[in-house]
Amino acid sequence: MIDSSPLSSLPPGYRAAVVGASGAIGGAVAAVLEADPNCAEALLFQRGGPLRIDIGDEASVAAAAEAAGEIDLLFIATGALHVEVAGQADRRPPEKALSQLDPVALAASFQVNAIGPALVIKHFAPRLPRQRRAILAALSARVGSIGDNRLGGWHGYRAAKAALNQILRGAAIELKRRRPLAVVAAVHPGTVESGLSRPFRPEGVSVEGVFSPDESAAKLLDVLNGLTPEQSGGFWDYAGREIPW
């Protein structure tokens, strides 16, 4: 164990995979792992990279998991608020009202925020070791909390993240049987400067309470490092506070 490692709870020479390493938060997590002396290998999967993954294509997900081999940490950093719809140049913004619900945009949000990560979990979870600590985390969002929903709106994104949370909870229960030391977590990164949050931030103005991707990545990895197997299956924010489902 290397105490200075941000992931000192993982075994020396651990191997990690980041899915969505081209994203703002995924890229920042990848940079921390690459700089960590405790990390023997960080596999950075992205749509446009040499380690290619398209979470909308199960064959691509399966091939990526096959290439990864055994990993001690899986960090799923994919997702979208403004969703891509096949055949359309512009992304669809989140709904402000029920009247804007559209089945095509809803399906696209579920695809990228819930179904894609579910397939990543399906194919990568068997790659986690059985008899030592392992971490499986996915970027959810506080707005995916049903208990915390006081504003309404963003119906598709909220519902897709709630679905992701349920998948993660079920994964934690199933993994506990054969991988009792594994920790599964849904994590909220805070509001983070990225392409995803840009439409909701004033141009060129630094806003209090908005993290840089590096700040968010450091906080999230610190939270994950401290979670115990007994806490597996929870929903946590960047400060280690539990979020209601």
Ligand X SMILES: NC(=O)c1ccc[n+]([C@@H]2O[C@H](COP(=O)([O-])OP(=O)(O)OC[C@H]3O[C@@H](n4cnc5c(N)ncnc54)[C@H](OP(=O)(O)O)[C@@H]3O)[C@@H](O)[C@H]2O)c1
- Positions that interact with ligand X (CB under 6 A): 20, 22-26, 46-48, 53-56, 77-80, 112, 116, 139, 141, 188-189, 191-192, 194-197
Backbone torsions φ then ψ of 193, nearest 5 degrees: -60, 115
For residue 243, the SS3 value is coil
Q: Where are the alpha helices (DSSP H) in the chain?
A: 24-35, 58-68, 103-110, 116-124, 155-178, 213-226
Q: What letter represents residue 24's amino acid?
A: A
Residue whose Cβ sits closest to ligand X: 79
User: In angstroms, rounded to a whole number, what is the distance separating the alpha carbons of residues 129 and 135?
Assistant: 10
CB of 181 to ligand X, least distance (A): 26
CB of 165 to ligand X, least distance (A): 12
- By beta-carbon proximity to ligand X, the closer residue of 13 and 195 is 195
Within 10 angstroms of residue 151's Cβ, the number of other Cβ atoms is 8
- The closest alpha carbon to 140, from 115, 123, 122, 165, belongs to 165
- By beta-carbon proximity to ligand X, the closer residue of 112 and 185 is 112
- By beta-carbon proximity to ligand X, the closer residue of 1 and 67 is 67
CB of 180 to ligand X, least distance (A): 28
Contact 96, 153 (CB under 8 A): yes
CB of 177 to ligand X, least distance (A): 28
- By beta-carbon proximity to ligand X, the closer residue of 16 and 133 is 16
CB of 120 to ligand X, least distance (A): 9
Q: Which two structure tokens, joined as six digits, stand for 72?
A: 């001690």
CB of 179 to ligand X, least distance (A): 24
User: In angstroms, rounded to a whole number, what is the distance separating the alpha carbons of residues 154 and 23?
Assistant: 21
